[in-house]
Amino acid sequence: MERKFPKDFYWGGSVSSFQTEGARDEGGKGLCIYDVRPTNPEFTDWSVAIDAYHRYDEDIALMKEMGFNFYRFSICWSRIIPNGDDAVNEEGVKFYSDLIDKLIAAGIEPMITLVHFDMPYKLVKEHNGFASRFVVDCFERYARVCIERFGDRVKHWMSFNEQNLHGMMLRVSNAEKVPEGINPAKHLYQVNHNVFIAHAKAVRALREMQPDAKFCGMNAVTNFYPATNTPKNNLFAWQAYQYMNGFHADVFTYGKYPDYMVAYLENRGWMPIFEDEDEELLKYTVDYIAFSYYRSNTLTEGEFDYKRPYHEIVGEHTIKNPNLEANEWNWEIDAVGFRWTLNELANRSHLPVFVLENGIGWREDLDENGTVEDDYRIAYHRDHIREMKNAMIEEGVDCMGYVTWGPIDIPASMCDMSKRYGFVFVNRTNKDLRDLARIPKKSFKWVKKAFESNGEDLA
């Protein structure tokens, strides 16, 4: 067997609209939740980000130079349908249509994420986000508009970024108002169910409108190690993985709630309400399983009680792993855990898997030579690519590609420009926009070599 990546393997980067575009009030865009949601006063806001709305030609050229053949970006729903329930904004459609055409012209395959934690503010203010089935229907219409306008050129689609997070926090569903008299956990899992239905409606739309295109389900996957080798600690870590990661992967793959999750929810009185067509809708399954991976976690011994949702209990039992190094934000570096995750998802789903986010955040600024010597980033990606190759060659994992997060610096998800992931430095801070110049880091040359060699030259 040839120990090489497939010739059609994807190499590239992922971003979100609100972390890149800026142009808050331009192009007919409506008000979105990120325009009004407060940020940490020490950080920045989303009004400019890295101004990709005006500078994407430059960014595409940099991606092409790095050897990218794939780029996953999200669409800002408010650019397409400004209030979520009103007329299509043709100027917004043109912006994304032009972006897609220029990516393809550069030899870069585009992938669309329909929702990356973002939505029109009107749907949040008046309907409490995905707590409302009206918003689910609005999302289906938005998905169909995007498929109609871009589906002739875009062959890879996903509904929700890191969809399993919708079962852990209401913020990403923009459904943070818990109705009076409703148990907060029951509300959380009902919202999570509504997101499942929105996802399934988008899959159905793609099957009807562009049957040759592919749709994935995407999770943020963190594997768990038991802190001690006791049977109880091992069981707790296994349960945590099923609830936090397996639940959504199983629904994406098999089109129904897995038995362990039905038992978990019914035992606590948290089983969501299924409307008439929900069971049939969930049967619209995916073509492959996509995921983000940054780190692993270690858990002390614990139990899942009947009062709090699973993510709260997992958070209380997470401790530092003494065997792993970590970055400033305590995200532990674990390339072998990445290999474990690739194997687990492939064996669980019997589908191809696709790495849609991987990378390491670091606090950086230009040095006296006007660059960034980010050897730690080179080491991180080198080790993860090697372990991905091991999973593919040694264990037979069918992996479609390796896509990095934020390949050109962007504000991190909490709007902090200090936490950088890119191979290209963007010259701004949280409070000073400077000139927004794009400046290659040391890792730029390394990733160019790695990607252009199809993962063969990692030295």
Residues annotated as part of the active site: 162, 357
Q: Decide if 103 contacts 64 (C-beta within 8 A).
A: no
**Residue 72's beta-bridge partner residues?**
14, 111
* Residue 366 CB neighbour total at 10 angstroms: 13
* Residue 289: exposure state from Cβ atoms within 10 A (0-12, 13-18, ≥19): buried
Do the Cβ atoms of 353 and 398 come closer than 8 Å? yes
Q: Are 436 and 381 in contact (CB under 8 A)?
A: no
**What tokens appear for 94 in the block?**
């043109």
Residues 6+ apart with CB under 8 A from 3: 389, 393
Q: Are 442 and 66 in contact (CB under 8 A)?
A: no
> What are the C-alpha distances in Å from 320 to residues 63, 226, 324?
35, 11, 8
Q: Please give the Cα distance from 363 to 442 (Å, whole number).
A: 15
